[in-house]
Amino acid sequence: MVGTSVTSEAKNAPKRQIFGWAMYDIANQAYTTIVISFVYSAFFVAYIVPAESQWRDAYWSIAIIGSTLIAMVLSPMVGHWIDRGVSKKKLLAWSTLVCASFTCLLYFIGPGDVWWGIAIILITNTAWMVGEAIMSAFLPELSSRKNMGLVSGLGWGLGYLGGFVSMVMVSVIIISADPVAEQGLYIAQHQWAMIAISIYFVLVAIPTFVLVKDKPKVANLVPREHWRESLNLFRQQRLQPVLFRFFWAFLFYMAGVQTVIKFIGIYSTGELGLSQTDLVAVFLATQFSALFGAIGFGVVERFVGARKVLFAVIGLWIIAISGMYGIYDIAGWLNMSVRDVFLVIALLAGTGIGSIQASSRSLVALLASPERDGSAFGLWGVFNRLAMLLAATFGIAADLFSRQNALLMVIAFFIIGAVLLARVTELSGLSRSQR
């Protein structure tokens, strides 16, 4: 049975299509960088949540957990629709518009509006996560099997340019008031920043919809089934057992990555006492190291395969998180400031943050059955969201045991992921149709 996806003999799509596809990574990175990871998450905990509240990080965890649960249901459904011939570009357009338009509504969220803020984050983060899965489903159509890792790494790496541009726009140009002396203006600038990010997202995503061709699936490629079957993970596992062995490993090591992505702003300001200027420095360190790491490991992947790259990157993450756990001792031993030690750790972690996601995405494309690409990336979205659920427990663990001790849980995520990844046989010598 022949599908419309690329096989091992297929060629790369024209460069303009790959460029257009990569532009979406540049566009959507702004949302997750500013709203979820670095700026709004820390602002929400410090200014939206009342100062007298006993729970702080846990409120943000509620927003992340809620949006993750919704995305876990929607992602496989959307993947099923793609396999049945629904236009990926139309689905991606809907997710983009919902994410951007509701992000604008954060402008109206002020101190004390905790539950309204959580409700908006639920909607925007859900739309962003579903869009990520849809966009990734284009990958098998754009790349030959040999270059899958390079193309995936290129998109993910260039996405960090979008994070850099949006961070400069927000933290340097828009948010300039002193948080103590000009608190009212400081809050208002964060609110205006949400509108700016929404506009940026839509404008930068336009090349994706103009340049990338949407190759529709042949409707009779797979037996017709009800959309509810896409939510039956046990049945899906029987259909693609090798892919699911990878997904279980992905679940745990990605939980470690997602913890850093979702809580680095809260950890660096709340635990280490870094200033907004320090936070920008940390951001720049991770963005540029992530850019070069994603592209560099993408090149390496062409020669050694995605699985070996993933083992190497997981090792980097274990070293980085162990450094964060012992950061005060390390700073004392080296006679350095905690800030400087954290910047070095951020560089190391940044090298792996893009490459581990890019290599995971390319491995999904390689392991998926060609006629079930949409479902495979929908399920990839499910396990990505399950990883986020595990990651969101960091906020609860931090409130119960301290943020520093909660890092031990993150190290355990990576170790378990590496052990499970060892169960995934290297299949780089087979064509996608043999998966």
Across the range 191-206, mean pLDDT stands at: 97
Between 275 and 87, whose confidence is greater?
A: 87
Other beta carbons within 10 Å of 96: 25
Band the pLDDT of 431: cuts 50, 70, 90: very low
- For 153, counting Cβ atoms within 10 Å of its Cβ (0-12 exposed, 13-18 middle, 19+ buried), the class is buried
Between 298 and 12, whose confidence is greater?
A: 298
What whole-number distance in Å separates Cα of residue 405 and Cα of residue 411?
A: 11
What whole-number distance in Å separates Cα of residue 130 and Cα of residue 381?
A: 7
Band the pLDDT of 201: cuts 50, 70, 90: very high
Q: Where are the domains of the chain?
A: 15-212+234-426
Residue range 220-237, pLDDT digits in tens: 455 555 445 555 566 666
What whole-number distance in Å separates Cα of residue 156 and Cα of residue 297?
A: 11
Q: In this predicted structure, what is the pLDDT of residue 346?
A: 85
Per residue, what are the HEC states of 286-324?
HHHHHHHHHHHHHHHHHHHCHHHHHHHHHHHHHHHHHHH
Q: In this predicted structure, what is the pLDDT of residue 386?
A: 86
What whole-number distance in Å separates Cα of residue 358 and Cα of residue 155?
A: 8
Across the range 381-408, mean pLDDT stands at: 84
Q: In this predicted structure, what is the pLDDT of residue 2?
A: 35
pTM: 0.79
CATH of 15-212+234-426, one of 3.40.50.720, 1.20.1250.20, 3.40.50.10540, 3.90.1150.10: 1.20.1250.20
Residue range 142-167, pLDDT digits in tens: 877 777 878 888 888 888 888 889 98
The torsion defined by the Cα of 188, 189, 191 and 194, in degrees rounded to 10, comes to: 170
Using the 8-state DSSP alphabet, how is residue 8 labeled? T
Q: What's the chain's Rg over C-alpha atoms? A: 21
What angle, rounded to 10 degrees, do the helices at 114-136 and 373-401 form?
150
Question: What's the chain's average pLDDT?
Answer: 84
pLDDT at 248 over 90: yes
HSE-CB of 333 using CA atoms within 13 angstroms: 7
Band the pLDDT of 369: cuts 50, 70, 90: confident
- Amino acid type, 258: Q
